[in-house]
Structure 1
Amino acid sequence: MVWVQLVVVLACIFLGSRLGSIGVGFAGAIGVLILTLGLGLEPGAIPVDVILIIMTVIGAVASMQVAGGLDWLVKKAEMILRSKPRYITILAPTVTYFMTLLAGTGHTAFSTLPVIAEVAKENGVRPSRPLSIAVIASQVAITASPVSAAVVVFSDFLEPYDVGYLDLLAISIPTSFLAVILTACVCNFLGLDLEKDGIYQERMAAGLIKKRKRDERETPKTTAGLSVLIFALSILAVVIYATAISPTVGLIEDPVLPRDSAIMLFMMLAASMIVILCKINTNDIINAQTFKSGMSAAMCVLGVAWLGNTFVGAHIEGIQSMAGDILVSYPWLLAVTLFFASMLLYSQAATTRALMPAALALVDPVTAIASFAAVSALFVLPTYPTLLAAVEMDETGSTRIGKLVFNHPFFLPGTLCISLCVAFGFVLAPIVL
């Protein structure tokens, strides 16, 4: 029956990937229905904390977007990209990495992808090079963001092992950023140069490639800077509070608010202050692109993580007994397991919630933290929204998905980047801890 149940899980995930977007969550619910009412399994835990963190963070980010803050950040990013266009393959992932680090969601990359594609095309750089690593950077940065659901949930799991919130960030931020930069250097040599690409030549001959004006983006609103400041201060408050209540620091004993609740509270407070001080219409927040994308992500996590928890929870003892000896001998295999799990579960937070508790029962915290970046393998199946957006925004045709599904320009940079993250993690984690 285990194999039948596994087939159900994989079939529903495949169905979700075909439906796309919020359909991933819907397909997960179908799987839960079959596993529980059909095959008699106990329903797994719903990742309520993950979903609520995503919702509150997205609410604050969407408020900042309506106030013009996101456009302000993108304008600054465009200035950086255009200042050194020949280095766009290095600068593009740097921009998307830090935007995700700040916002706690990779959906901020949507705003910068058109700029990256245009600057690359204008300067004769194959757009697939900066676009591919920029998308990967926006995914990997989730495991380093102080306000991402994946980091918050994982830090909660680590506290019984005397590993603090700042310890996790002190490892994940430098290892992930260094891996992104080194991978970007490799991306400079991937694929044919633009002028030698046959599809680009065909599109040029057909008149399908046009140059756009640089001033097409609207001037950010006067409230933009204030909204960014409010959001940045809320993140600082999260870091300070999460550090203060950490048992390893112990500034606040027996805190009234646990870390999860505090992050939700600070994010909602940030959204409230942006609405009040920047005088924006709350109805506009609901229609903001980041809000729609974020709520879709929350629904995906609900369905897919619930499905994963239902299957894993039913077989957790067997998984631990089977994997225990193997992971003791080959601890790096945890990263491989997380890689393939996140490919299917479609979410860093969902993968962390489903597998990390069991992993920490089998391996030491150093191995778990070093392997943490592997939960970002959302690029393997070419169905993730930012990946598809990068393909659509590259009118040169250099960023394309092949007929074999896996032969797309994101696969090699993503795999290399995660491998480097894990390798650096195994070096830095023992030093920090």
Structure 2
Amino acid sequence: MIWIELLVVLFFIFLGSKMGGIGIGYAGGAGVVVLTLIFGLEAGSVPVDVILIIMAVISAIAAMQRAGGLDYLVHLSEKILRKNPKRVTFIAPTVTYWMTLLAGTGHTAYAALPVITEVAKEGNIRPSKPLSISVVASQIAITASPISAAVVIFASFLEPLGVSYLQLLGVAIPSTILACMVGAIVANRLGKPLSEDPVYQERLKAGLVKQKSGERQENSKSSKYSVAIFGAAILIIVTYASLISKKVGLIADPTIGRNHAIMAIMLLAAMVIALVCKIKLSDIPGMSTFKSGMSACICVLGVAWLGDTFVSNHIEEIKEAAGGLLNQYSWLLAIVLFFASMLLYSQAATTTALMPAALALGVSPLAAIASFAAVSALFVLPTYPTLLAAVEMDDTGSTKIGKYVFNHSFIIPGTVTIAASVAFGFLFGSMIL
């Protein structure tokens, strides 16, 4: 029966991926119904803390967006990019990486993509070079963000094994930063210079390429205040997590745990932004970040619940079948996570669905942390929103989706970046853990 039940799980994951967006969450819930009511399995655990953290963080990000904070971050990014247009392939992914690291969501990249395209054209650089690695950097940074759902989930799995939240960040941040630079080196070597590209020349003659836009408006004080408040909240979260960690131990008996502290501090930050910046609260649910975040909650609920229902009922069989292989070849976990995230379309959902099973099979914390970046292979199928946005915004025609689905502009830089991050993860993990 286990194989039939596995087919049921895969069927609903496939169905959800075909539906797109929030559909993966719907399909996950439907799969739980089939497994429990038809096959008689006990329902798995619902990732309540994860969902609540996403809601709290997104509510603060949406408040910051309403106050103009994201526009201010883009304004700063544009200044940095325009100072070195010839190095845009290296600076652009750095910008999108840190925007995601700060915000805990890769959707912040949307606002930076038009600026990256414009600066690349001004420097006679194929926009596909900086755009491809920038999209990848915005996705892989999720696995290094102190407030992303994926990191918080994974940290909760590692703590019983003696690995702290700070140790996870200590490995993930340098590994992913360096990997993005490796990906940028590869992206920078792909394709002809823009002036030699026949597709670009044709589009230029046809008047399909936009010229430089005018100067953007200066940002208000409220936008700057919102970014400062949100940044302070992240600093408080990281500091508090350090103080209550067993490694530091300055607060031996905390009155509030790390996960609950993240929720409370993010809600506090949202309230302070609302009061200081005097934003209209009824506008917050209409923000794009709020909508995408709430959709992520449904996706995590459905797919993580489905995955846990199957794994928790068959953990012994899974250990017997795959435990030895993963113990002997721990790098295989990265490959499993890579292909799983292609379908699940969420770092948090992939982490929640597969990491507990991997750790239960005896995969070492070092191998799990090193492989963690592989949950960011959302770029493999050319249907992810930020990827499509990059293709749409590049009016030179250099960023494209090929005829054979996988031969698109993002596949090589993305695969190289994840492979490099896994390698760096093993390196830094062996020094830190």
Superposed displacement of residue 276, structure 1: 0.6
Deviations 1:243-262 (A, max 9, x none): 11111211112322111111
Map of 1:322 onto structure 2? 321
1:335 and 2:310 are equivalent in the alignment: no
The superposition leaves residues 359-391 of structure 1 with CA deviations (integer Å, 9 ceiling, x where unpaired) of 223122111111111111111122222111111
In structure 2, relative to structure 1, the CA distance for the partners of 1:241 and 1:336 (3 Å cut) is: same
Q: Is the 8 A contact 2:311 2:357 kept in 1?
A: no
Partner of 1:350: 349
Residues 45 and 309 of structure 2 are in contact (CA less than 8 Å); yes or no, is this contact kept in structure 1?
Answer: yes
Moved over 4 A (4+): none
Quick one: which amino acid aligns to residue 314 of structure 1?
Answer: N
Conserved 8 A contact 1:305-1:345: no
Give CA deviations for 1:269-293 in whole Å, capped at 9, x if unaligned: 0000000111110112111111112
Output the CA distance in 2 between the equivalents of 1:122 and 1:15.
Answer: 43
Contact 1:81 1:91 in 2 (8 A): yes
Letter in 1 for 2:351: T
Please provide the CA RMSD for this pair. 1.7
Cα distance in 2 between the residues matched to 1:32 and 1:392: 37
Amino acid at match of 1:16: G
Q: 1:306–1:82: structure 2 CA closer, same or farther, 3 Å change rule?
A: same
Q: C-alpha displacement at 1:399, in angstroms? A: 1.5
Q: Which segment is superposed worse, 167-176 or 203-212?
A: 203-212
Residue 141 of structure 2 aligns with an amino acid whose one-letter code is: A
Question: Within 2, Cα distance between the matches of 1:218 and 1:27?
Answer: 44
Are 2:16 and 1:16 equivalent residues in the alignment? Answer: yes
Q: What secondary structure does 1:244 align onto?
A: helix
1:305 aligns with 2:304: yes
Give the stretch that moved more between structures: 376-385 or 77-86: 376-385
Structure 2, unpaired ranges of 5+: none
SS in 1 for 2:221: coil
Residue number in structure 2 paired with 1:165: 165
Q: Distance in 1 between matches of 2:217 and 2:296?
A: 28
Q: How many angstroms apart in 1 are the aligned matches of 2:398 and 2:182? A: 22
Equivalent-residue separation in structure 2 for 1:416 and 1:68 (angstroms): 35
Name the aligned partner's letter for residue 264 of structure 2.
Answer: L
Q: In 1, distance between residues paired with 2:309 and 2:431?
A: 37
Distance 1:404 1:304 in 2: 28
Q: 2:258 is aligned with what amino acid?
A: R
Counterpart of 1:374 in structure 2 is 374
What code does the residue aligned with 1:375 have? Answer: V
2: CA distance between counterparts of 1:197 and 1:33?
Answer: 53
CA deviations on 1:116-154 (whole Å, 9 max, x unpaired) are 112112322111111111011111111111111111121
Deviations 1:22-68 (A, max 9, x none): 23322333333333334433332222222111111111111111111
Distance 2:185 2:18 in 1: 33
Contact 2:17 2:344 (C-alpha < 8 Å) held by counterparts: no
The secondary structure found in structure 2 opposite 1:223 is helix
Q: Which residue does the alignment assign to 2:418?
A: 418
Deviation at 1:294, TM superposition (A): 1.6
Give the secondary structure class of the aligned counterpart of 1:424. helix
- Residue 181 of structure 1, CA deviation: 0.9
Q: CA 1:12 to 1:392, structure 2 compared with 1: closer, same or farther past 3 Å?
A: farther
2-side partners of 1:8 and 1:195: how far apart?
51
| Amino acid aligned to 2:252 | E
Which residue of the partner structure matches residue 265 of structure 2?
A: 266
Alpha carbons of structure 1 residues 6 and 191: separation in structure 2 relative to 1, 3 Å? farther
Deviation at 1:218, TM superposition (A): 3.5
How many angstroms does 1:200 deviate by? 2.5
Partner of 1:296: 295
Q: Provide the residue aligned with 2:50 in structure 1.
A: 50
Q: Aligned equivalents of 1:12 and 1:200: distance in 2?
A: 42
Conserved 8 A contact 1:159-1:247? no
Deviation at 1:429, TM superposition (A): 0.7
Report the counterpart of residue 146 of structure 1 in structure 2.
146
Q: 2:262 corresponds to which letter in structure 1?
A: I
Quote the Cα distance in structure 2 between the aligned partners of 1:400 and 1:232: 35
User: Would the aligned equivalents of 1:101 and 1:142 in 2 still touch at CA under 8 Å?
Assistant: yes
Per-residue displacement from partner, 1:322-367 (whole Å, max 9, x unpaired)?
A: 2211122111111112212222222111222222222223122111
What secondary structure sits across from 1:254 in the alignment?
A: coil
Q: Is the Cα–Cα contact under 8 Å of residues 162 and 248 in structure 1 kept in the other structure?
A: no
Alignment check: 8 A CA contact 1:17 1:383 kept: no
- Give unmatched runs, 5+ long, in structure 1: none
Q: How big is the shift at 1:205?
A: 3.1
Identity of aligned residues (%): 62
Q: Distance in 2 between matches of 1:405 and 1:91?
A: 28
Distance 2:11 2:118 in 1: 38
